[in-house]
Amino acid sequence: MNAYDNAIRQLEKAAQLIDLDKDVLAKLSVPEKIIMASLPVRLDDGTLKIFQAYRVQYNSARGPYKGGIRFHPQVDLDEVKALSFWMTIKTAVVDLPLGGAKGGVVVDPKSLSQSEIERLSRAWVRAFRPVIGPEKDIPAPDVYTNPQIMSWMADEFSQLEGKPSLGVVTGKPLEYGGSKGRDTATATGGFQVLMEAIKLKGLDLKKTRVAIQGFGNAGSVMASLLYQAGAKIVALADSRSLIYSDQGLNIEKVLEHKKQSGSLAGFSGAKEISQEEFFQLAVEVIVPAALENQIDKNNAKDIKAKIILELANGPTTPEADELLTKQGVLVVPDVLANAGGVTVSYFEWLQNISHNYWSEEEVEAELKERMIPSFEAVWQIAQEYKTDLRTASFILALKRLEKAIKVRI
């Protein structure tokens, strides 16, 4: 399944509903810039290895480009184009004065040492330095990148510029210009939106059963937030294992097990299940927090959940979307559900360029001020156009993008 084809289909569906200006549609159907580079990295054994890297700058009508960089063996140009397009939509949905971009390196980071990852990170900055910067394009962490990698990138850029330029990337450690609340922002924003969706569906949180696919940063934090709020987490999945307990999982113990063993596999009191079984579970909420195209036409028909909250980017194919809508499943789309990450990235950038840093309480309050009104606006549009929340999110974003583009063309 081609992620970029999926993205363009989503664009065209929403554009048709609102009769989007043809010039605006043409501009949004292609990225503004695609930059590719080969990154030479000297490995610890002395050999030189070349890594393919991409940066797609999709649209800057509403402000500087913004979007993560992922280190993953399955990165390809179509995926990066799709992700950069979704970032353009996402920043507009939550009304940030930013555009959309995405980057990727074709690499298995688990096969590299820390020093090799550092050299790769610094090589990425050297290659893409002409097109990034606090007023041009502000990268951030994504799959298999983290605050340490962002600090190496900020340091490399600052050295090349000859001055501190912390605002070049976000998602940095607190000790080096990071924002409080950034490490949990994606899950926190998703949690805030999920609470609104649960109310609208008339569910009792204490009786709500949840399955979370993906137990990295976003998935594990979401599990903790829901567990603390009283929901029952019955299933979890990471890249190696899927576990289930009808009685509910003790998330604090799961986190400790994952920390010690590196995997969910072997967690006491849970049984292993297949991915097919995972999507057939009798739960109220499913949270995909892994990779793209996890819910497709083959497994969507078996889903019994009332709500799907997309913490991952592009986890549901268009065919699955249609099936889920017909089944009455409320899909809270990625461009809204996981926008907490880019929102707090924006807050971090503001703090960097103003040299004025916020408390965790201020960050969380400001995040809520963006997420809840955005959800409410999307919900209203869905009612007005009698459509699903994904299409409604796109309509909201496209109306904002159309205004910004039309004053410039």
CATH code for the domain defined by 185-337: 3.40.50.720
Nearest-angstrom CA–CA distance, 195 and 349: 28
Q: What is the pLDDT of residue 371?
A: 97
Terminal Cα distance for the chain, rounded: 34
40 and 50 in contact (C-beta within 8 Å)?
Answer: yes
For the record, the structure tokens of 346 come out as 């924006």
For the record, the structure tokens of 222 come out as 């979401």
36 and 111 in contact (C-beta within 8 Å)?
Answer: no
Bridge partners of 272? 243
For the 30-91+98-176 domain, the top CATH level (class) is alpha beta
242-244 and 271-272: which strand pairing? antiparallel
pLDDT in tens, 324-368: 999 999 999 999 999 999 999 999 999 999 999 999 999 999 999
Catalytic residue, chosen from 90, 102, 172, 258, is 102
Q: Where are the domains of the chain?
A: 30-91+98-176, 185-337
Residues near 74 by beta carbon (within 8 Å), at least 6 away in sequence: none
Q: Which helix (H) or strand (E) holds 275?
A: helix 275-278
Q: What is the pLDDT of residue 66?
A: 98
Q: What is the pLDDT of residue 304?
A: 95
Q: What is the pLDDT of residue 409?
A: 72
Q: What is the pLDDT of residue 245?
A: 95
b/e code 15-42 from CB counts within 10 Å (16+ = b): bebbebeeebbebbeebbeebebebebe
Active site residue 102: yes
SS3 content of the chain, % helix, strand, coil (to 5): 50, 15, 35
State pTM to two decimals.
0.91
Fold agreement between 30-91+98-176 and 185-337: yes
pLDDT in tens, 16-25: 999 999 999 9
Nearest-angstrom CA–CA distance, 120 and 116: 6
Tell me how crowded residue 147 is: count the other CB atoms within 10 A of its CB: 19
Among 186, 183, 152, which residue's Cα sits nearest to residue 169? 152
Q: What is the pLDDT of residue 1?
A: 62
Mean pLDDT in consecutive groups of 10 residues from the start of the chain, 409 residues? 85 95 96 98 98 98 97 95 95 97 97 98 98 97 93 98 97 96 94 96 95 94 97 94 95 95 91 93 96 89 96 90 94 96 97 96 96 97 95 97 91
